[in-house]
Chain A
Amino acid sequence: MSGIIEVENLSFGYTRAPPIADGRGRARVLKDISFEVMPGTFLTIAGPNGAGKTTLLNLLCGLLMPQAGSIKIDAEHIESYSTKKLAQKVAVVRQEFVPVFDFTVSEMVSMARTPYLPAFGFEGKADEKIVAEALEMTDTAQFALRPLASLSGGERQRVFIARALAQNTSILLLDEPTSFLDLKHQVGIYDLLKKMQLEKDKTIVAITHDINLAAQYCDETLLLGADGSYRHGCTKNVFSTEQIEKVFGVRIFTAEVGQEKFFIPLGKFAKDSGQIDGKLPGNRQG
């Protein structure tokens, strides 16, 4: 079986600095990256700010085109897809935004059917069924008729995931799906994603800043470094204390509970920094 996403020797750089991200205008963001994602895998992309995580996501959904190397989706080059065809293969959940006009939740989720509609398009019975299922699965059916702006952050994120689900794609890309959420909702979103992976056989690629959540939920990890280095593999192998300290440039306290490892970053002025360092077992000498 070959991968549903195949990335080979991919390189990408901005000729101009992106307007918001950072003003340094790096020549290369991604250097010679290769990896493969098998169908039904939950992959997380981690790394410090500016390592090119969002750039990679934008490349995978066809918003940016590779400058060198290739990306294949379902064994076909990404350039050969039309926008419409690609949207039937790949769904994207971006970082949260508030729409200009007051669409309701069910209208939002229905828009996932856009890539399947002809000109003068209206959703048919089949589309409505898919939308209803997506609302059901993400537990958003209860506020289907409310305007999106009236929902809380966690609810809104679930609506966007419902939309991605209704798009009926085999691949789902997410850009920091939990960034503005409290602990309960962070876990809720990851549970939902895991459920979609297991029940709907989705291939999920999510950018995350929370390495501990990623370690608990994701099968594979792609760790991007700010210097252009990268590591890809089974999450357990990629996330080691040494790797994380090196890539993120911060001291890490590692708590081991049975087989699991938890990584806690230690700042210079953190209250218990010294105590933890000295007293607790299972910690390396930093």
Chain B
Amino acid sequence: MVMGLCSLVGTQRISLKKVFAGPGEAPGQNIDYEIFVGVRLPRVILAALVGAALACSGVILQAILRNPLADPYILGISSGAGLGVIAAVLSGVTWRFWGGSPIAIFAFAGALVTVWLVWCIGRFAGKSQVTSLLLAGVVVNAFFSAVIMFLISIAKSEQLRSTVLWLMGSITEKDSSVLWFSTGCILTGMVGLFSISHKLNVLTFGEEEAKGLGVDTAKTKVVAFGFAAFITAIAVSLSGLIGFVGLIVPHGVRLVFGPDHRQLLPVSAIIGGAFLVIADTLARIIISPAQLPVGVITAIAGGPFFLVLLAKYTRKVSWLK
């Protein structure tokens, strides 16, 4: 519903009646229809897809790291994927692998490496440290950002503006083959995650408890991290670094639907999609006819939200001690 409404909003006014009238006989006859189908709709689908992927990824990271403040952006996983993307773009590789562009594959590699880093740091940091994992995320983030900046500064100037805009997180129109391929990837990832969602519930109690309830923790963690890195990477390769979706959405959904992952995961996907569609629509109209990167909107909404949560949870931990 949100998708439908938002695809009607935009710099160019279009009327629903004309859209339903169907394509005209000659190209250019029904401009409203062409804008709707050719520009708005793919963009809304893309936003929904990216939002769903990021929200799911946030749910998974929060469950497995047992840290309610985890989010692919905050932990640096998005920048890891972003680094992969920039490396792929700037090195100019063009080979294809199973129909996947090298960009997506580089992004996946970058995301996997970061997830592995975060996992190791998380184990090192111990159980009750909500903040040390976040600090680790800050460090990882800073490091990858530095490498990204280095790559950008040695890049040719014509690639510069678009790369920088992409980095800020922007949803721009892609050709349909990329869109379909990414849809397939992200849906596969989400179904994979949903299949282990009952085990995720148990994993939030920690390794010992989960094993006591018959969950093969090592295998489940690898599967969950793998899929989470995968959908994050696809989302990043589509739309750059969009922050805080994976933080805000799961929290909101948890407040209403409770923490059972068999509900939390699919509902977060839907709400995450709707959330980013709305954010992207705002990004399109606020300084219309120019467009804001959508990452700006989510960060403005998410930053304060994050601070509130941080205050809440660090206090909770100090009570426990």
Q: Contacts A100-B66, A101-B68; is A111 near B208 (CB within 8 Å)?
A: no
CB-CB under 8 A from B194, the residues of chain A are 120
CB contact between B204 and one of A87, A101, A122 (< 8 Å): that residue: A101
Nearest CB of chain A from residue B10's CB, rounded to whole Å: 39
Query: Is A107's CB under 8 angstroms from B214's CB?
Result: no
Query: Is A102's CB under 8 angstroms from B214's CB?
Result: no
CB contact between A111 and one of B196, B211, B213 (< 8 Å): that residue: B213
- Alpha-carbon distance between A167 and B202 when the two chains are bound, in angstroms: 13
- Alpha-carbon distance between A219 and B212 when the two chains are bound, in angstroms: 25
A71 within 8 A of B: no
- Which residues from 163 to 204 on chain A have a C-beta closer than 8 Å to any C-beta of chain B? 167
Which among A5-13, A89-97, A228-236, A277-285 touches the partner chain?
Answer: A89-97
Query: Is B258's CB under 8 angstroms from A104's CB?
Result: yes
CB contact between B214 and one of A86, A94, A100, A101 (< 8 Å): that residue: A86
Query: Is B320's CB under 8 angstroms from A98's CB?
Result: yes
A258 within 8 A of B: no
Q: Contacts A103-B260, A115-B214, A167-B213; is A120 near B199 (CB within 8 Å)?
A: no
Query: Is B213's CB under 8 angstroms from A82's CB?
Result: no
Nearest CB of chain A from residue B105's CB, rounded to whole Å: 27
- Alpha-carbon distance between A4 and B194 when the two chains are bound, in angstroms: 37
Query: Is A114's CB under 8 angstroms from B259's CB?
Result: no
Quick one: closest B residue to A101, CB to CB?
B259
Quick one: closest B residue to A114, CB to CB?
B213
Nearest CB of chain A from residue B189's CB, rounded to whole Å: 15
Q: Contacts A98-B320, A101-B68, A119-B196; is A114 near B214 (CB within 8 Å)?
A: yes
Query: Is B211's CB under 8 angstroms from A63's CB?
Result: yes
For chain B, the bracket of interface size reads 20 to 34
Q: Contacts A119-B195, A122-B198, A122-B262; is A100 near B204 (CB within 8 Å)?
A: yes
CB-CB under 8 A from B221, the residues of chain A are none
Query: Is B216's CB under 8 angstroms from A114's CB?
Result: no
Quick one: closest A residue to B67, CB to CB?
A100
Q: Contacts A99-B204, A100-B68, A114-B202; is A87 near B212 (CB within 8 Å)?
A: yes
B145 within 8 A of A: no
CB-CB under 8 A from A84, the residues of chain B are 214-216
A83 within 8 A of B: yes
CB-CB under 8 A from B202, the residues of chain A are 111, 114
CB-CB under 8 A from B213, the residues of chain A are 87, 111-112, 114-115, 167
B143 within 8 A of A: no
- Alpha-carbon distance between A255 and B65 when the two chains are bound, in angstroms: 51
Q: Contacts A97-B205, A111-B213, A167-B213; is A103 near B259 (CB within 8 Å)?
A: yes
CB-CB under 8 A from B197, the residues of chain A are 120
Nearest CB of chain A from residue B141's CB, rounded to whole Å: 23
Query: Is B259's CB under 8 angstroms from A83's CB?
Result: no
Quick one: closest B residue to A115, CB to CB?
B214
- Alpha-carbon distance between A167 and B213 when the two chains are bound, in angstroms: 8
A215 within 8 A of B: no
A75 within 8 A of B: no
Query: Is B212's CB under 8 angstroms from A92's CB?
Result: yes
Nearest CB of chain A from residue B166's CB, rounded to whole Å: 34
Query: Is A111's CB under 8 angstroms from B201's CB?
Result: yes
Query: Is B209's CB under 8 angstroms from A94's CB?
Result: yes
- Alpha-carbon distance between A94 and B209 when the two chains are bound, in angstroms: 8
CB-CB under 8 A from A117, the residues of chain B are 198
A241 within 8 A of B: no
- Alpha-carbon distance between A122 and B266 when the two chains are bound, in angstroms: 14
Query: Is B198's CB under 8 angstroms from A121's CB?
Result: yes
Q: Contacts A122-B198, A122-B262; is A101 near B211 (CB within 8 Å)?
A: no
Nearest CB of chain A from residue B319's CB, rounded to whole Å: 10
CB-CB under 8 A from A102, the residues of chain B are 254, 258-259
- Which residues from 56 to 71 on chain A have a C-beta closer than 8 Å to any C-beta of chain B? 58, 61-63
CB-CB under 8 A from A100, the residues of chain B are 66-68, 204
Query: Is A94's CB under 8 angstroms from B212's CB?
Result: yes
- Alpha-carbon distance between A91 and B215 when the two chains are bound, in angstroms: 13
Query: Is B212's CB under 8 angstroms from A91's CB?
Result: yes
Give the one of B197, B198, B212, B259 with max A CB within 10 A.
B212
- Which residues from 235 to 265 on chain B have a C-beta closer than 8 Å to any C-beta of chain A? 254, 258-260, 262
CB-CB under 8 A from A112, the residues of chain B are 213
- Alpha-carbon distance between A111 and B202 when the two chains are bound, in angstroms: 7
Query: Is B208's CB under 8 angstroms from A63's CB?
Result: yes
- Which residues from 98 to 143 on chain A have a C-beta closer than 8 Å to any C-beta of chain B? 98-104, 107, 111-112, 114-115, 117, 119-122
CB-CB under 8 A from B198, the residues of chain A are 114, 117, 120-122
CB-CB under 8 A from A114, the residues of chain B are 198-199, 201-202, 213-215
Nearest CB of chain A from residue B227's CB, rounded to whole Å: 13
- Alpha-carbon distance between A98 and B66 when the two chains are bound, in angstroms: 12
CB-CB under 8 A from A92, the residues of chain B are 208, 212
CB-CB under 8 A from A83, the residues of chain B are 211, 214-217
Nearest CB of chain B from residue A271's CB, rounded to whole Å: 32
- Alpha-carbon distance between A195 and B196 when the two chains are bound, in angstroms: 35
- Alpha-carbon distance between A86 and B212 when the two chains are bound, in angstroms: 8
**Shortest 5 CB-CB distances between A and B: which pairs?**
A87-B214, A115-B214, A101-B259, A92-B212, A84-B214
Contacts beyond the supplied A83-B214, A99-B204: 5 A-B pairs with Cβ under 8 Å: A62-B211, A97-B209, A101-B68, A104-B258, A120-B195
